[in-house]
Amino acid sequence: MDKWFEEIGPFLADMFRHTVGKLTGFLSILLGLAPVIYPAFFGGDKGVLHARTTWWTASAVAFFLASMAAWSEKNSEVKRCQKEILDRKPKFEMAILNLNREYVQNRNETNYMLSIVIASSGAPSVALGWGAVFKRQGIPDEAMSTRYLSQPYILRQPDGEIAITNPSLIQSRTLTNPLAFGDARTGRILFVLPGNRMQVDDFSIEVSCFDVLHNRCSSVFHVDPTPSVGIQFFPDEQVSAQANPAG
C-alpha cells in the first residue's frame, strides 16, 4: 500500500502535465475555432449544453492522449534501462580460422585442432565451458570430445612445425582470465572423434562456449577440401623447423 501511494503521486503529476499540455495545445485551438465555424451549434441555450459536451469530450480525449504519452515516456525509459542492463551482460563473439586434423592409429581416433579467436563486446567474463558438434548433411549430428594435452601436440606443415601445449589452448586462456570489453584472445582447441575420418571432407564443425551466465556463443567452421599450404600460426606461437613428435 505504501508503494502504491509513493507511485500514484508521480503518475498524477505526469497525467496532469500531459493533459494540460494537450488542452493548451492543438485541442485548445479546436475549442476556440469551433464556435466560430459552427455558431448555430454553439448559440442559444442549447449551445451552452453543446459547449459543455464538447469541453468534456475534449477533456476525455486529452486524458487518453496524456495516458498514451505518459506510457510511451515510461516505456522508453524502461527500454533504455533494459538496454543498459543488456550492455552490462557478457557477450562473446567467436571466429574459427582454420583446422588441422590427423588420424591417431594407436587410439583409433581423429584429432581436430581448431584455431579460435574469441572477443568480448559486453561485461567482463570467463568462458566456463566449450563444446563442438560434427555435422554432415543427411547424417545425425555427432558430439565431439574435447581434451587437454598430456604432452606437446605437434602441428606440421612442409615449412615448419608448432608445438602446442596446454597454455596455448583457448580454454586455458579464457577460463581464469576474464575477457574485458573490447578484449580478444586467440588459441587452439582440440576435439576428437572415434575412428578414421580423414577421408570425410563434406562436414562442418559448430563450436560453442558458455560465459558465467551460461549465455551461448557459437561459430561454424566449414571444411575446405583443399589442403593447407604453409603453416598458419598466431603471433605468440613459436614456429620451428623441427620439434619432438607427440607420443
Q: Does any domain span residue 115?
A: yes
- DSSP E strand boundaries for the chain: 92-104, 109-120, 129-136, 139-147, 153-157, 160-164, 184-194, 204-210, 216-222, 239-240
Domain that holds residue 27: 2-87
Q: Choose one of 87, 103, 125: the last residue of a domain.
A: 87
Q: Specify whether the CB–CB gap between 226 and 145 falls below 8 A.
A: no
Rounded to whole angstroms, the Cα distance separating 105 from 181 reads: 43
The dihedral sign for the CA sequence 145, 201, 135, 170: positive
Rounded to whole angstroms, the Cα distance separating 100 from 166 reads: 17
Q: Does any domain span residue 246?
A: no
Q: What are phi and psi of 123, to 5 degrees?
A: -70, 155
Band (216; pLDDT cuts 50, 70, 90): very high
Mean pLDDT to the nearest integer, 112-139: 93
- Res 89: pLDDT: 83
Q: Choose one of 57, 87, 117: the last residue of a domain.
A: 87
175 lies in the same domain as 192: yes
111 lies in the same domain as 233: yes
158 lies in the same domain as 53: no
117 lies in the same domain as 225: yes
Q: Does any domain span residue 64?
A: yes
Rounded to whole angstroms, the Cα distance separating 124 from 34 reads: 62
Q: Does any domain span residue 245?
A: no
Sequence-ordered list of residues with C-beta below 8 angstroms from that of 172, at least 6 positions apart, any chain = 148, 166, 187
Q: Does any domain span residue 104?
A: yes
Question: Angle CA(96)–CA(98)–CA(99) in degrees, nearest 5?
Answer: 110
Band (92; pLDDT cuts 50, 70, 90): very high
* Mean of pLDDT over the chain: 79
Q: Does any domain span residue 247?
A: no
59 lies in the same domain as 99: no
- Res 51: pLDDT: 66
More confident residue, 23 or 92: 92
106 lies in the same domain as 201: yes
Nearest C-alpha neighbor of 188 from the set 216, 154, 215: 154
67 lies in the same domain as 179: no
Rounded to whole angstroms, the Cα distance separating 126 from 124 reads: 7
Show the cell assigned to 232. Answer: 598458419
Q: Choose one of 87, 109, 143: the last residue of a domain.
A: 87
182 lies in the same domain as 102: yes
Q: Domain holding 171: CATH number?
A: 2.60.40.10
97 lies in the same domain as 36: no
Question: Angle CA(98)–CA(104)–CA(110) in degrees, nearest 5?
Answer: 45
Band (136; pLDDT cuts 50, 70, 90): very high
79 lies in the same domain as 132: no
100 lies in the same domain as 83: no
Number of independent structural domains in the chain: 2
Q: What is the pTM of this model?
A: 0.64
